Amino acid sequence: MRSRDGNSNFSLRLCSILIFNSLALNASEFLISYKYIVQNSVIYNETLLISRAMTKCEGTPQRELILQNRNGEDLKALVFENSQEFIEYIHELGLHVEHKESTVNLQNFSTTILTLKTTCFKVDFNDNFATIAPLK
C-alpha cells in the first residue's frame, strides 16, 4: 500500500496498529453483581445484574470459566442459558454471607443473604465459546 506522498512505511504501520488493537481489544469488560436471599428456608429473591463497564477495569484475570456460546456477544443471554454453571462459578469466587436469626413465641425466623459485590469480569467471545474471568 502506498500513500500519495510515497510513504508506504507509514501506511504499513497504521494497518498493523489497527489489526493489533482489534485483536487486543476483542475482550470486553462487564460489571456483574449477584444477590440471593433466603427467608425461613424459602428462596425470597435472587438478583443477577450484568452491565458493560463504562471505564477500563484494573486488575489481572483470575481463574476463568468457559461456556459454550450460541448467542454472539450477548453476555446476559449466555449467562441465563448456563445459569446453574455460572452461579456455581461465582459461589466458588467467594460471596459475602449475612445471616440473621431470631426466635419469637417459640417460632424461628431466619434470613440469609449471599452477595457478590460488583466485580469486573473480562469476557472474550469466540465462535463457539466465551471465556469469563474476574479481574482482581
Give, in degrees to the nearest 5, the angle at Cα 127 between 125 and 130: 35
Whole-angstrom distance, CA of residue 75 vs CA of residue 28 = 10
Residues 73, 55, 91: CA angle, nearest 5 degrees = 60
Q: Is the pLDDT of residue 15 over 50?
A: no
**Tens-digit pLDDT profile for residues 23-78:** 344 578 999 999 999 999 899 999 999 999 999 999 999 999 999 988 778 888 89
pLDDT tens track for 96-109: 999 999 999 999 99
